[in-house]
Amino acid sequence: MTTVILDALADPDGAVRRAGELLRDGQLVAIPTETVYGLAARIDDAEALRQIFHVKGRPQDNPLIVHCATRTQVDAVVDWLLVDDVDRAIIEPLMDGCWPGPLTLVLPRAAVIDAAISAGLDTVAVRIPGLDITRRIIDEAGIPLAAPSANRSGRPSPTTAGHVVDDLGGTIAAVVDGGPCREGLESTVVRVVGGRVVVLRPGSVTRIQLHEMSGAEIVDPERADDASRSPGTRYRHYAPVASMILVDSVDEIGMSYVNVAFAGDGTERSRIIVLATSDPGLPGIVWRPLLPSTLFAELRRADRLHVEKIIVLCDEAVRRNEALMNRLHKAAEPTHGTSETK
């Protein structure tokens, strides 16, 4: 299959029209969002949903996020009768405050939600994406779209159309190129239960913002009932081929790179990179900027260039960014030795 690139920057109307046609026809189309690119299919086409899991190599028990253009569409996929008044009073301000935007809410699902989307759970994860072009594509498709991140499982989420083509080119009908994603990390995923907000996956909507908007206590899944856990958090996400270590200070960077085995041909240092907010100015060591919006692109780049060691300088500002630290810790986990690696 040839994967068509639909250029939404040069011709947004044409890209929306063609993407809508393909999606209505049951094809898979990768679409830009404000967070990362998603691999979209209409929610009522079981074969298209099956294809999503197939082309990504995604475990069947990891449910998908449903992307809606409007609150009316959200109401059609959620069973609000199963949400009590206390939780509803928390969920409403979160929807008002964050949508359209990078917050995903896990809610009781309506019967229309295919078992493949919810992976057999009685809930559905739903969000209204923040990018106009995404909502226009959903509108054109005429139905909400199920869309996980558009990477092969085990690779970093794609933040450009090129990343999607690298992973899925030849296996999906089209990629809508909307340029690099503004946020670069996936949405915050929460579930509201028992009058508390459970953070299943940290993202750019922070705990403080969640609390300010809802007035509710914000807790980790460990502190809520087991059913609140997000299946996706069980799976290893991404570990670069290079060994990756997190350090707190510039002094520690020096310590780390002298420990790298030097073969003596003078090229070793180019195989070490430092990711840091600003250039630590270490002679001969390549510095690349550390930002939430470009982290995944940098990890992909490091693999492409066969970097052997990635040293990440986590300064105060980086350590305060929970979503960024979460992805860094996941990427720094050793690649080998665990059974669940998708």
Contact segment (CB under 6 A) with ligand TXA among 14-22, 85-93, 226-234, 328-336 equals: 226-234
Residue numbers 289-328 binding ligand TXA by CB under 6 A: none
Alpha carbons 300 and 291: distance in angstroms, whole number: 14
Does 201 interact with ligand TXA (rule: CB under 6 A)?
yes
Q: Which stretch binds Mg ion (CB under 5 A): 70-78, 141-149, 158-166, 176-184?
A: 141-149
- Whole-number minimum distance, CB 330 to ligand TXA, in Å? 11
**Number of neighbours of residue 238 by Cβ within 10 angstroms:** 19
The piece of 146-154, 175-183, 214-222, 308-316 that touches Mg ion (CB under 5 A) is: 146-154
Stretch of 144-152, 205-213, 286-294, 325-333 contacting Mg ion, by CB under 5 A: 144-152
Torsions phi, psi for 289 (to 5 deg)? -65, 140
> In the range 15-34, which residues lie near ligand TXA by CB under 6 A?
33
Pick between residue 88 and residue 234 the one whose CB is nearest to Mg ion: 234
Tokens in use for 13?
């109307």
- Of 20-28, 184-192, 216-224, 264-272, which part binds ligand TXA (CB under 6 A)? 184-192
Give the CA diameter of the chain: 68
Residue (73 or 123) nearer to ligand TXA, CB: 123
Q: How far is the CB of 170 from Mg ion (least distance, A)?
A: 20
Residues 92-121, one symbol each (x = binds ligand TXA by CB under 6 A, - = not), give: ----------x-x-x-----------x--x
Rg (CA), the chain: 21
- Alpha-carbon distance of 194 to 224, in angstroms, equals 9
Q: Contacts with ligand TXA in 50-79 (CB under 6 A)?
A: 62-65
Q: Judge whether 125 and 63 are in contact, CB under 8 Å.
A: yes
Cα dihedral across residues 317, 157, 193, 87: positive or negative = positive
DSSP SS3 for 58: coil
Nearest residue relative to Mg ion (C-beta):
149
Nearer to ligand TXA by Cβ, of 191 and 309: the residue is 191
Q: Which is nearer to ligand TXA, 124 or 328 (by Cβ)?
A: 124
CB of 65 to Mg ion, least distance (A): 9
Q: Which residues pair with 219 in a beta bridge?
A: 198
Strands 272-276 and 123-127: unpaired
Among 259, 285, 263, which Cα is nearest to 274's?
285
Residue 149 interacts with Mg ion (CB under 5 A): yes or no = yes
Which token pair is 241?
């081929």
Residues 6+ apart with CB under 8 A from 197: 90, 94, 190, 191, 210, 211, 214, 216, 217, 218, 219
Where are the extended beta strands (E) located within 16-167? 29-31, 38-42, 65-67, 103-108, 123-127, 145-146
81 by Cβ neighbours in 10 Å (0-12 / 13-18 / 19+) ranks as: exposed
129-168: contacts with ligand TXA (CB under 6 A): 147-149
Q: Could you say whether residue 73 binds Mg ion (CB under 5 A)?
A: no
When the beta carbons of 67 and 309 are compared against ligand TXA, the nearer one is 67
Among residues 15 and 116, whose Cβ is nearest to ligand TXA?
Answer: 116
Residues within the interface to ligand TXA (CB under 6 A): 33, 35-36, 38, 62-65, 102, 104, 106, 118, 121, 123-125, 147-149, 186-187, 189, 200-201, 230-233
Residues within the interface to Mg ion (CB under 5 A): 149
